Structure 1
Amino acid sequence: MASELNDDYTASGDGAAKLENRRILILYGSETGNSQDLAGDIERLAERLHFNTHVREMNDVELNTLLQYPLIIFVISTTGQGEVPKNARKFWKSLLRKRLPPNCLQLVNFTTFGLGDSSYSKYNWAVRKLHKRLEQLGATEFFPRGEADERHQDGIDGTFLSWSLSLRSHLLKEYPLPVGLSPIPLDVQLPPKFTLELAPTMDLSDELMPDRDGYQVGNLKSANLTSPIVKSSNGYHHPAHHDQTLDEKAALFSHADTPNPEQLEQALRAERMSINSNSYPARLSEQTAKQIQGGIDILDRPNVLRDHPSKYLLEDPSSCKDALPPSDLLPIPRGWVAHLRENRRVTPINHWQDVRHLVLEVPTQPNSNRRGDKELFSYVPGDAVLIYPKNFPADVQTLIDLMGWNDVADMPFEHRARQQDVLYSKPKNCYPIPNSTLRELLIHNYDITAIPKRVFFQDIAFYTDDPMHQERLREFANPGLSDEFYDYTSRPRRSILEVLQDFPSVKIPYQHLPSIFPVMRGREYSVASGGQLLRNEQNLEITRIELLVALVKYKTVLRKTRQGLCSRYLEFLRPGTNIMITHREYDTLEASWTRRPLLAIAPGTGVAPIRAHLWDRIDESQAGDALLFFGGRNRNADFYFQEEWEDLRVKVLTAFSRDQEEKIYVQDRIREQWQLVCEFIQKGCVICICGSSGKMPEAVKLAIHDAMVMGKMAPDREAAKQVLARNNPLWEEVW
């Protein structure tokens, strides 16, 4: 009843006029996609309050756009050393222009929400800087800023859920709905922002059927043949069938192994014209042909062979559990084609962790700004490259079977956006291959193995008729039942595909795929190469990239082996394969630091960016001394780049936690070597902390403070912290 009342009201001219100014612009700045996800959550919250919402990447708007909206909400994460994300830097720089009038944003009403990690020293600096600058330019805060900490026991949700609920209450109070109009309840589905529609295809009824041997079948216009031609992941074209089953009769219509096909063709034509002929007159099987209007006679020339079907390989690749993802290159903006030269495991086979040393070679490409010029891929230590993983065909086929999408799985589709959202024609950061089939979209573009967000359960509850399933899904979507949601998803690392297997009554329309499944994002890896390692001596137009990657593979409380999407992809990525990568710059490591002493701390694969920096220092004649505290489990298993450290002129102090009864970590070594640590600090060293985030960075900083107290450089930890902030640059590369 409430829904009908809302529809009647908004359909009237008076209702539309009253809702015209009910608009919110939601801007996000994100490195890994978390801010973008939260922006989507806020969008749905506002839509249910009948706000006309627009979600944009911060770099996609100009400052004067802010003046066109009554309310603006910024969601931004902090990267590196308090930096603004790359997709927000253009907008941020526009805010810093000196010629901006002091009150140029006085008509803007805004609020902000920040994402940060308290293990960093500059926690949530990006949102704080943004908030302060907006106020300096005259903008007014309409709702208090929120800040999320990834270290919270409930993650980002620990803060965001309560903040967003308070925001909802505030919007309802300060911007009340007109009489007769109520918020859209959660059990009413919002229209999808993006949908999939069948791509327009050539009408084959207007084309002559080409003949392999120079013959032509008669004009097919009268046959009304409309079965579209689609491109498979391996690049071949084939008719789109309603039933993709490959049966034995298909083999009887192949020209394979025919010594003289033209002579055979004449004989077969004569046989077909005989009134006693009982031959099959098409390449395709009867099972497929009966789906075609006009029957089997209109499909192709007669070409029956008598070979046994066992001669032909008819196995569907998607049914092979070991089939690898296809090597199609996605049209990613500012992407580079990289050739995988090496993918070598550096830890023993019997070691608990599979760590890979990858070597990529990136050739020059045409410069988009200067015609005729070539652009050389370049990077500096501290930068990262993004590798774009793919789903495995077997998993995709499982989803297709589960959803009942086999009839359309190999047809080409296009993304369509809601009419009101014309800036993006498809989900942000979704880069499909032209004329992608549904199967290809699922392999290359949509993540079906991610741990689902809360909104996923809310959305799929609309696609089941099972009352028990619907009730259970909505319980997982309920913010008040966070423990159940966590126990079902994050704790066992249950994937989207597994959730759908647990709830088989859910049948998602293929048209709604873009609104339900998250876009597959690139995985970021710090470069492990610098200096001389960048160059290919045989070809100066090639840039080398080395990566040190720890593959994610473990068992959960469900006793199931889990593997990260990109880890699984990289594990089976064969040398010689071309992949698409992008480059992410981090302005945290200054070139002048190579002349200062270096105090580096790096457990595990965190040593990658430090190794890159050390190779850069080799080319610097005035490079300062270098001291590295390296941590791992076992010297014989994970002492990465052990053979290089002496040549790189770095003193290495190790802490291998499992090589003795009592565990030893890098922070223990720092306290043991307090004199050496103080000596480097007194020389004005650069301090680099690289590795996994969480407790490690903070534990290392406390150990350095303790070493300074032991060396009489400061009376206590707080004073030591102040001394370091004044004299010693800090470079943190943690993830």
Structure 2
Amino acid sequence: MDHSLLILFGSETGCAQDVAENLARQARRRHFKTKVVAMDDYDKSQFVEEKLVFFICSTTGQGAEPANMKKFWRFLLRKNLPNDILSDLDCAVLGLGDSSYRKFNYPSKKLYKRLLQLGANMIVDRGDCDDQHYLGLDGAFAPWAKNLWDVVLEKYPTTKPLIPDDVLLPPSFKMEFISDGQAQPQTTLAGEFNLVVQKNERITAADHFQDVRHIELTCTDEDFKYEPGDIAVITPQNLVQDVDLFFEQLGWTEHADKLIRFTPFDEFHTLPAHWPSTMTFRDLFVYFLDVFGVPRRSFFEMLAYFTTDENHTERLREFASPEGQEDMWAYCARPRRHIGEVLFDFKPFDIPFDYMLDLFPQLQPRSFSIASSLNVHPQSMELCVAVVKYKTKMRKIRRGVFTKWMSTWKEGDVVPRVRIAKGTMTLPPSADIPLIAIGPGTGVAPMRSFLEERIVEQGATQNILLFGCRYHDKDFYFADQWKEYEQNGQLVLLTAFSRDQEGKVYVQDKIRQHSELLWDLIENQQAKIVLSGSLDKMPGEVAYAFKQTFMKEGGLDALEAENYFSDMIKSGQYQEECWN
């Protein structure tokens, strides 16, 4: 019997990929010939030939599918596909998401439904992993995977015994040190652009707790294009000095400048397309491996094979178990311990170089709303990004991997392999339709792209910006630009400076204060509302303020106001893009 298995994942931050790799290890212990690949990297022409496929799908934005499954999803939606084309396919779907979002696991639910429409045989019910579960994603993943294997092994039996969990599987790649040749650069793939830094300026007061940067980047490539509301996707790098300290801690300093090459151990593993064929050992950790991020469960699971202290091995396996998630959270996630610190705590260990890519996760791209209009700033892209820096319960200062690197950018530096992705918000279809833009904090970034396009390029004059921050004099981003638009009669500016008076004032309070104006624009002129900012409580509070406005100014009861708001979302009259 054929024991080939394909695991396709759609992943934005690497979480779904990590779960897919976890499931692949479980499959290999059951003697399945397993290949793991991002949906958009898979050769779709082979899909109808597959017999057994598992789909692992995360959620991004407000219920959108991850960037690396968009092409595959469009392929499945083709109207010319017969409704029985997948009748020979056994498959299972697992979704990863956060139930605090309105469209919890929306992509996996749509994927599950579409596969059924095409005749696929679902061997188990769809799984729904939830970040809000007290055990995290494992709360749903562990029981779902157990049930999945019970069903799969009944349909695809094997006489070979299960490989026990305490037996280390072969590595995915062989890493060898080579004596000749030279390090190669990363490959810039189609749809990726190298941008040059023109400005990296702090735009918060020197005495303000938060360092927010206004960044200007340029690109002369004629294919470089973006629309208002689009997103810049950038993969971070680790700082060389941090990597050198990491090597010193692990005793790897002598290898830093040696050339290395990876070779897959079998046909089921391939290197990422942008990786060079040869690189230095240091380059591997500067450009590709995430050793300063907070590790996932799979890291503890793999590290347990390499510790030489039995007590450490036992502790690591506890962290890797579903039952040990609270302990792992207390040890790692709450104090934000990064991989380097975990390794220090679990010395001594012996990590074979062949397991580099199995142990250490890859650096994952970050997404940022573009804060400029390309028509207003030709060949340029601007960002408004807050530097992540905070103290943990360990009293240690933590810095975000991306913004630590971004803080070092200076004029002339090249930011490689930037990709443009579609956002979830768009301009009104006509310049005559009013725009109500709500962007507290760095949520103002996409609002700047919308307003520049409407005011400078389209000549639109019915624009309202609701902006919120802490202090007028410390973190009022792009204040001069907004005031110029206001003076020219192109913008109504409604500001909420939460700490400038005794009682806190937020953007939702401004909505209630100006309810008559906003209701007239929404009801009588079909004004479009766009909202961006931190997920937290803000989006819900803003939605509630609008529902109150509908009741007060429109005379609607609570149910009617709720339905009115829902209709605005369905029609695209109300769009939001918020993040954790």
- Normalised by the length of structure 2, the TM-score is 0.92
Aligned to 2:371: 528
Displacement, 1:448? Answer: 0.8
Displacement, 1:442? Answer: 1.2
2:387 to 541, 551, 573: 551
Aligned to 2:575: 731
Aligned to 1:711: 553
1:296-335 alpha-carbon deviations (Å, 9 max, x no partner): xxxxxxxxxxxxxxxxxxxxxxxxxxxxxxxx96323133
2:354 to 489, 495, 511: 511
Q: Distance in 2 between matches of 1:407 and 1:77?
A: 40
Structure 1 stretches lacking a partner, 5+ long: 1-19, 203-229, 232-327, 365-374, 536-542
Displacement, 1:354? Answer: 0.4
Aligned to 1:643: 480
Q: Distance in 1 between matches of 2:296 and 2:21?
A: 12
8 A Cα contact 2:135 2:322, kept in partner: no
Displacement, 1:490? Answer: 0.9
Displacement, 1:383? Answer: 1.3
Matched, 1:343 2:200: yes
Aligned to 2:292: 449
Matched, 1:686 2:528: yes
Indicate the larger mover: 648-657 or 116-125.
116-125
8 A Cα contact 1:382 1:733, kept in partner: no
8 A Cα contact 1:111 1:145, kept in partner: yes
Aligned to 1:113: 94
Identity percentage over the alignment? 38
Q: Partner of 1:463: helix, strand, or coil?
A: coil
8 A Cα contact 2:569 2:575, kept in partner: no
8 A Cα contact 2:519 2:554, kept in partner: no
Displacement, 1:671? Answer: 2.5
Q: Partner of 1:628: helix, strand, or coil?
A: strand
Decide whether aligned partners of structure 1 residues 680 and 165 sit closer, same or farther in structure 2, where only a CA change above 3 A counts.
farther
8 A Cα contact 2:288 2:363, kept in partner: yes
Decide whether aligned partners of structure 1 residues 496 and 652 sit closer, same or farther in structure 2, where only a CA change above 3 A counts.
same
Decide whether aligned partners of structure 1 residues 713 and 58 sit closer, same or farther in structure 2, where only a CA change above 3 A counts.
farther
8 A Cα contact 1:119 1:694, kept in partner: no
1:443-476 alpha-carbon deviations (Å, 9 max, x no partner): 1211110101111111111112211111111111
Q: Distance in 2 between matches of 1:713 and 1:85?
A: 41
RCO higher in 1 or 2 (8 Å CA, sep ≥ 6)? 2
1:168 to 149, 155, 170: 149
Indicate the larger mover: 348-357 or 400-409.
400-409
Amino acid at match of 1:188: V
Aligned to 1:185: 164
Q: Distance in 2 between matches of 1:144 and 1:357?
A: 47
Amino acid at match of 2:316: L
Aligned to 1:500: 343
1:333 to 182, 189, 193: 189
1:529-578 alpha-carbon deviations (Å, 9 max, x no partner): 0154322xxxxxxx111100100000000000000011111112222212
1:480-530 alpha-carbon deviations (Å, 9 max, x no partner): 111101011110000000001111212312222111111112222111001
8 A Cα contact 1:111 1:143, kept in partner: yes
8 A Cα contact 1:118 1:149, kept in partner: yes
In the alignment of these two chains, the number of paired residues is: 570
Q: Distance in 1 between matches of 2:110 and 2:517?
A: 37
8 A Cα contact 1:80 1:586, kept in partner: no
Q: Distance in 2 between matches of 1:476 and 1:380?
A: 44
Indicate the larger mover: 486-495 or 50-59.
50-59
Matched, 1:634 2:471: yes
Q: Distance in 2 between matches of 1:585 and 1:466?
A: 46
Q: Partner of 2:484: helix, strand, or coil?
A: coil
Matched, 1:143 2:86: no
8 A Cα contact 2:297 2:319, kept in partner: yes
8 A Cα contact 2:7 2:55, kept in partner: yes
Aligned to 2:517: 676
2:305 to 446, 462, 467: 462
Aligned to 1:209: none
8 A Cα contact 1:684 1:727, kept in partner: no
Matched, 1:599 2:580: no
8 A Cα contact 2:34 2:268, kept in partner: no
Aligned to 2:178: 199
Decide whether aligned partners of structure 1 residues 707 and 152 sit closer, same or farther in structure 2, where only a CA change above 3 A counts.
farther
Displacement, 1:405? Answer: 2.4
What does 1:199-598 align with in structure 2 at a 5 Å threshold?
Answer: 199=178, 201=180, 330-334=186-190, 335-364=192-221, 375-421=222-268, 424=270, 426=271, 428=272, 431-433=274-276, 435-530=278-373, 532-535=375-378, 543-586=379-422, 588-590=424-426, 592=429, 594-598=431-435
Displacement, 1:174? Answer: 4.8
Q: Partner of 1:107: helix, strand, or coil?
A: coil
8 A Cα contact 2:229 2:426, kept in partner: no
Decide whether aligned partners of structure 1 residues 351 and 155 sit closer, same or farther in structure 2, where only a CA change above 3 A counts.
farther
Q: Distance in 2 between matches of 1:332 and 1:60?
A: 16
Structure 2 stretches lacking a partner, 5+ long: none
2:5 to 12, 24, 29: 24
Q: Partner of 2:554: helix, strand, or coil?
A: coil
Structure of larger gyration radius = 1
Indicate the larger mover: 605-614 or 583-592.
583-592
1:665 to 494, 499, 506: 506
Displacement, 1:664? Answer: 2.4
Q: Distance in 2 between matches of 1:161 and 1:720?
A: 41
Decide whether aligned partners of structure 1 residues 194 and 702 sit closer, same or farther in structure 2, where only a CA change above 3 A counts.
farther
- Normalised by the length of structure 1, the TM-score is 0.73
Matched, 1:89 2:70: yes
When the two chains are superposed, the root-mean-square deviation of aligned CA atoms in Å is 2.3
